Amino acid sequence: MTLIAADKHYCVVGLGLTGMSCVRYLAARGKSFSVIDSRINPPGLSEMQLEFPQIEVITGGFNEDFLARATTLVMSPGVALATPEIKRAVENGAQVTSDIELFLNEFSGKVIAITGSNAKSTVTRWLGVAIANGEQKALIGGNIGNAVLNFVDDDFDVAVLELSSFQLELLPKLNADVSCILNVSEDHLDRYASMAQYQQAKQRVYFGTKHAIYNRADVMTAPLVPDSVKVSSFALNEPDLGQYGVREENNQRYIVQGFSNIIDVTEIALPGEHNISNAMAVIAIADAIGNDRNATLLALREFTGLAHRCEKIANVDGVSYFNDSKATNVGSTLAAISGLGLATKNIILLLGGQGKNQDFSPLIEACERVCKMVYCFGEDAPSLNALIVRSERVESMDQAMKLAKNIAQPGDIVLLSPACASFDQFDNFEHRGNAFVQWVEANA
């Protein structure tokens, strides 16, 4: 645990939303600190200089002499610990901490930690609704966009933290009350040397946990924890006693715990098989912290999802349009097309962007099974087009949308689920998703 000590000098590494929350936190506690960012004009720079003109800041690179003055580096998750200048500072004795660790040092409520390659934002928000229905005050924060240090002085019963692998790398021991890995699939292989290294970062969510929850269908989520830690699991098959799964009775499918039915899957507000799995994770985590089961079920029936996550935009002349722009890796796209697709090849898929060194080959069989056509755009369009039989390479998402509209028939789904990062043609996944929505509203 990294403590705030009077004789320390902190260096906030990276601005943006997280960095600014760290600046305000350290300033409010009267600590000695400075700021550094490799970008020339990082987000939050003008705001920081206006609010804290006395704080020394360097931009445009990681100056090693500047870093050497710090006893503790308050790291942004966007900056890799393997960055040469950061690595040398640590080798020379600098400690490493993060906004999440500083928050947890002061938080006295229950902590739920959720990670996974896909669906962690949906499960985190869904769980937040369930807890609020149960009349507990929950902080929803972490990778989901709420910088936790902005709320460190507020009173919450539960902190529900969505944590990326980058954030987990910065935590020596999380010590959560409940920890869950939803799934692990190829992602961020432009930062990790191997899938094993990526999985190891995800597994850090279980360090020190009291209750580990994992996906039985994904061996990479299985926790390696002491026997004293309670372990629960979920999957879309029939479960063992006490575990969560799906069972069919009288031609109806139910989420169950052991032999007990919990909810008919048709009552879940979010569509797709992947959201049945997500709903099970919500139930399992909510049960683990003692949330009222009726409050959890109400959330399952009423929560309609997050923007850019398999979000149904419109149904025009029998054609449905889904925005899944947040699908920035292959696993997420596989979940979407498997959850929405029918045996009749009803999906027209918009695919492409920056692939982050992923293996695209798992898309081949899935696209062959459920896709009428795949339009590939962006930086990795040539690779995707070469792999997928029924595909066409286009220059832009706009062109893909026009072609998709031309071939769509009643019962079809036009699905933006790119399996890639967006930064080649868009500012971020939100920009890409909003462009899709605007096109649908204007042209569909």
Core vs surface per residue 176-200: b (16+ CB within 10 A) or e: bbbbbbbbbbbbbbebbeeeeebbe
**Residue in this structure with the two tokens 């372990």, named with its chain if needed:** 231
d(CA 164, CA 126): 18
Partners of residue 320 on adjacent β-strands: 315, 413
Compute CA distances 397 → 40, 424, 433, whole Å: 30, 12, 10
d(CA 259, CA 276): 18
Phi, psi (deg, nearest 5) at residue 238? -70, 135
Query: Is 215 in contact with 183 (CB distance < 8 Å)?
Result: yes
Residue 150: strand, helix, or coil: helix
Is position 405 annotated as part of the catalytic site?
no
Kindly tell me the burial class for residue 391, based on how many C-beta atoms sit within 10 Å of its own C-beta (0-12, 13-18, 19 or more).
buried
**Residue in this structure with the two tokens 């590494």, named with its chain if needed:** 13
CA-based nearest residue to 34, from 6, 2, 3, 71: 71
Geometric angle at alpha carbon 81, from 80 and 84, rounded to 5°: 95
Is position 188 annotated as part of the catalytic site?
yes
**Residue in this structure with the two tokens 């999440």, named with its chain if needed:** 100
Is position 110 annotated as part of the catalytic site?
no
Partners of residue 247 on adjacent β-strands: 254
Kindly tell me the burial class for residue 443, based on how many C-beta atoms sit within 10 Å of its own C-beta (0-12, 13-18, 19 or more).
exposed
From 110, 188, 202, 211, the catalytic residue: 188
From 110, 118, 120, 202, the catalytic residue: 120
Run of H or E including 279? helix 273-288
Query: Is 130 in contact with 282 (CB distance < 8 Å)?
Result: yes
Run of H or E including 106? helix 99-106
From 118, 133, 143, 385, the catalytic residue: 143
Tell me how crowded residue 41 is: count the other CB atoms within 10 A of its CB.
Answer: 10
Active site residues: 120, 143, 188
